Amino acid sequence: MKQVLDVSGLTFRHSSKKRWLKKPEIFSLGPIDMQVTKGETIAIIGQNRSGKSLLAKMLAGAVEPDEGNIHLMEEKYWSVRHRAARKNADITGIRMIFQHSSESMNPGITVGQILDEPLRLNTGLSDAERKALIADTLVKVGLLREHIYFYRHMLSDGQQQRVALARAILPEPKVLIADEPFAALDPTIRSQTVNLILKLQQEMGLAFIFISHNLGIVRHIADRVIVMDGGQIIESGKTETIFRWPQHETTKKLVLSYQSLIPQQTLR
Amino acid sequence: MSRFSLYEDEIRPSPWQHTWREFKSSHVALVGLAILLLFVFFAFFAPLVTPYDPLFQNTESILVAPSWHPNGSITHLFGTDALGRDLFSRIMYGCRVTFGTSLLVVIIAMAVGVSIGTIAGMLSGVRSSVVNHLLDALMAIPTLLIAIIIVGILGSGLVNSMWAITLALIPQFIHHTRTFVRAEMKKDYIQASTLDGANRLQIFYYSILPNMIEMLVVQGTLALSIAVIDISALGFLNLGAQPPLPELGAILAAGLDVGYLSPWNIAIPGIAIFLMVLSITVVGDGLRSALRKRVNR
């Protein structure tokens, strides 16, 4: 198995110094180490304010870590702060689906223009090639070709989620990061989206890291689970191991709250 | 794609067609547009359609009543003024001067204001605050007052008053653009574009500008109506356009001298200014709601 993503010592801390007119923030994250192999699915679970979204944003490069490095295919992955370094690097290796898919779609431009952007900026394809690729990708995520003419307000939540997915997978990334991708969807659409992502993952061999509060889905699709609390990884391991033999107190609570809905199984 | 595609054959309305469709549904806005187009027509084609030279003084027909008056004649549709100049021709040229200069003033002020506002909005910290709060102080003073002060320094005249109004209009464009850009920069889709490697110019052009059009229309029409009022006010106060030049405010001021003899010399330029401002506001309002409906319905 090949290692795609290698994260070492990732740390984030708000400045604890008390500044003029500014309260000191006490939240800090990390240090976090994790390795992701090709085609692997990793779930990040934990309570609110445990630093899950921040970790996802740091992995995607949207937030600059204070310490630590992210290596994608043994090359350093730079955050948006390093504009010059990103110019020459492969920045489409890690793609992110934001928490609210509707807010990550620009209301003023069409779906076609939204999807065109990552290609226009990162590939040397001609207009016609880009258009064809966008149309194919839309079909791939279960939309129609004509959706390129649609605006955000014409699409339902599930369709917006698909557009966000299409935007993420267009430049053929190695790693896909999603922040609660299934939260706002009803069970039917949710299963469809889960199956769609699993199918795409098989086809493209991408590693999928996602945050979820829905432990049913986590147990269903994740290979490994990372449990976070207070900005630290408190437990990680194979999904079945975590669910059957949780070690940490918080993990036990999380799993119990899920298990209590399914009374057949008891904790050992 | 090798397959033939049915979807490409279907006509997709462009954003402007969407907007026009929504705009058409409001009848008030359509009437406003018709009146505004009339003024635009005067602004461009006044020399071709005016029956008389606006500066030609016919001493044999002084203060002729308008054509609907019992004493009026159809040769002078709106009558003549105290110097025997045809009022209809002067109003047409007046629309040309007042409306044309206002449009020019607003376009310059918008270009400058939006550029500075965008830069201020994309920067952060002290640099951004300095630009903003310095100009916020200026916004507390009415534009006409600022314009009068600037004209007082530069001296009167149409060109000077245009500069003055341009300078007076810029702060509000900067302020609104900065507020808008700052709010927009926090959105998720801007972050997504940044992650895609878009630089600031690309973010502005492809992501922020399409959303900014509604704000620009609102502020632009507001500024245009302010500019029309200010230019004619300066003309009326004899600080802007100087008397021989047919400018609506100046025509109004000249009519004031013979107001008791021939009230139409005040009424007609006044109605022209009123209709101009009203139609600009109505069209701006219709355009704004049409643009809003385009991205919400």
Q: A156: phi > 0 → left, psi -120 to 50 → alpha, else beta; which? A: beta
Q: Quote the pLDDT of residue B14.
A: 76
A153 touches chain B (CB under 8 A): yes
Nearest to B148 by CA among B132, B130, B161: B161
Closest by Cα among A72, A82, A79, A66 to A9 = A66
User: Which string of b and e fits B50-89 if b means at least 16 CB within 10 Å?
Assistant: bebebeeeeeeebbbbbeeeeebeeebbbbbbebbbbbbb
Would you say the C-alpha torsion B265, B268, B271, B275 has a positive or negative sign? negative
Structure tokens at A226: 């990372």
Please tell me chain A's helix, strand, coil percentages from 3-state DSSP, rounded to the nearest 5: 40, 25, 35
pLDDT, residue B133, reads 77
Give the separation between CA B48 and CA B92, rounded to whole angstroms. 11
CATH, residue B242: 1.10.3720.10
- The residue-averaged pLDDT of A22-45 equals 81
Cα(A9)–Cα(B72) distance, integer angstroms? 92
Asked if residue B114 is part of any domain, the answer here is: yes
Residue B25 domain-assigned? no
- Chain A: nearest CA to B241, how far in angstroms? 42
Position A4 pLDDT exceeds 90 = no
Which residues have C-beta within 8 Å of that of residue B157, sequence separation ≥ 6? B240, B241, B242
Instruction: Kindly state the tokens that stand for B30.
Output: 């359509």
Q: How far is residue B172's CA from residue B166's CA, in Å, rounded to a whole number?
A: 11
Name which of A92, A104, A117 is nearest B206 (Cβ-Cβ). Answer: A117
Q: Which of B10, B195, B295 sits opposite A61 (nearest CB)?
A: B195
Q: What is the pLDDT of residue B60?
A: 79
Instruction: Read off the pLDDT of residues A184-228 as tens digits, 9 standing for 90 and up.
Output: 788 888 888 888 888 888 888 889 999 988 888 888 889 999 998
Sheet holding A67-72, edge to edge: A28-37, A3-13, A67-72, A75-76
Residue A109: band (very low, low, confident or very high) from pLDDT cuts 50, 70, 90: confident
At B35 the pLDDT is 94
Mean pLDDT, chain A, whole residue set: 84
Q: What CA–CA distances, in Å, run from A243 to A33, A122, A124, A235, B7? A: 21, 41, 46, 11, 48
At residue A261, does pLDDT exceed 70?
Answer: no
Please state, in angstroms and rounded to a whole number, the distance separating the CA atoms of residues B247 and A114: 48
Q: In whole angstroms, what is the distance from residue A224 CA to residue A233 CA?
A: 13
Distance of CA A78 to the CA centre of its chain: 17
CA atoms within 13 A on the CB side of A231: 13
Q: Residue range A174-181: average pLDDT?
A: 88
Answer yes or no: is pLDDT of A18 > 60. no
- Both tokens of residue B25? 């549904």
Domains of chain A are 3-10+37-259 (3.40.50.300)
Torsion-angle region of B155 (φ positive above 0: left; ψ -120 to 50: alpha; else: beta): left
Test A96 with B199 for CB contact under 8 angstroms. no
Structural domain contains residue B13: no
Query: Alpha helix (H) ranges present in chain B?
Result: 15-24, 27-49, 87-122, 126-139, 143-154, 158-185, 188-195, 200-202, 209-236, 248-257, 264-296
Contact A31, A12 (CB under 8 A): no
The predicted-structure confidence for A60-108, as pLDDT tens digits, reads as follows 888 888 888 888 888 888 887 777 777 777 778 888 888 877 788 888 8
- Full-prediction pTM beyond 0.90? no
Q: What does the block give as tokens for A171?
A: 């430049």
Which chain A residues in 74-103 lie under 8 Å from chain B, judged by CB atoms? 80, 83, 86-87, 91-92, 96, 98-100, 103
Q: Which helix (H) or strand (E) holds A133?
A: helix A127-140
Residue B17 placed within a domain: no
Q: Which one of A100, A117, A153 has the shortest CB-CB distance to B193?
A: A117
Contact between residue A157 and residue A183 where contact means Cβ atoms under 8 Å apart? no
- Identity (one letter) of the amino acid at A207? A
Distance, CA of B127 to CA of B130 (rounded, Å): 5
How far away is chain A from the Cα of B142, in angstroms, using its nearest Cα? 33
pLDDT at B106: 95
At residue B1, the pLDDT reads 45
**Chain B residues within 8 A of A117 when measuring between CB atoms:** 193, 196, 198, 206
Write out the DSSP string of A27-62: -EEEEEEEEEETT-EEEEEE-TTSSHHHHHHHHHTS
Residues 174-233 of A with CB under 8 A from B: none
For residue A24, pLDDT beyond 70:
no
**pLDDT reported for residue B10:** 63
The rounded distance, in Å, linking the Cα atoms of A39 and A20 is 48
Nearest to A103 among B188, B195, B297 (CB): B188
The size of chain B, in residues, is 297
Average pLDDT of the segment spanning A31-42: 88
How close does chain B come to A8, measured CA to CA in Å? 21
What is the ipTM for the molecules in this complex?
Answer: 0.82
CA distances in angstroms from B286 to A24, B26, B29, B31, listed in the order given: 48, 7, 5, 11
Taking an 8 Å cut-off on Cβ atoms, the answer to whether A107 and B211 are in contact is yes
Total domains present in chain B: 1
| Residues 6+ positions from B63 with CB-CB distance below 8 Å | B79, B80, B81, B82, B258, B261, B262, B265
CB A65 within 8 Å of CB A231: no
Q: Which of B7, B191, B211 lies closest to A145 in CB terms?
A: B7
Residues of chain B predicted below pLDDT 70:
1-11, 297
At residue A19, the pLDDT reads: 61
User: Whole domain around residue B198: which residue ranges?
Assistant: 92-296
Please indicate, yes or no, if residue B149 is contained in any of the structural domains.
yes
User: How many C-beta atoms lie closer than 10 Å to residue A120's C-beta?
Assistant: 17
